[in-house]
Amino acid sequence: MNIQAEKLGLIEWIAKLNDSSVIEKLKKIHEEDLQTSSGWTEISEFEKESIERGLKDIEEGKVGAHDTARKIYERYL
């Protein structure tokens, strides 16, 4: 069986799945895969904290326009 057929079989199985504990396990596998493939596990704690602070700033609306930043820092670019 080829990989595409395997994936379709899994998709069909998941679509019919009613067991919440299995769904939770699949979600954990998915999250672990995302972290591994995104490089998140490859960066330092300092970098992770910096990214988290940036995401928090975005949520709180503490961001400026790209054009404004370019004007301020254009001499360094």
- The model's pTM: 0.47
Reduce the DSSP state of residue 18 to 3 states and report it: coil
Q: For residue 2, is it left (φ>0), alpha (ψ between -120 and 50) or beta?
A: beta
Q: What is the dihedral of CA 60, 61, 62, 65, to 10 degrees?
A: 160
Which tens digit of pLDDT belongs to each residue from 1-26?
699 999 999 999 999 999 999 999 99
58: tokens are 């975005």
Amino acid at 66: H
- Domain limits of the chain? 1-30, 43-77
What pLDDT is stored for residue 52 in this prediction?
A: 92
Which tens digit of pLDDT belongs to each residue from 33-52?
887 777 777 888 999 899 99
Which tens digit of pLDDT belongs to each residue from 50-69?
999 999 999 999 988 999 99
Based on its alpha-carbon atoms, the radius of gyration of the chain, rounded to whole angstroms, reads 21
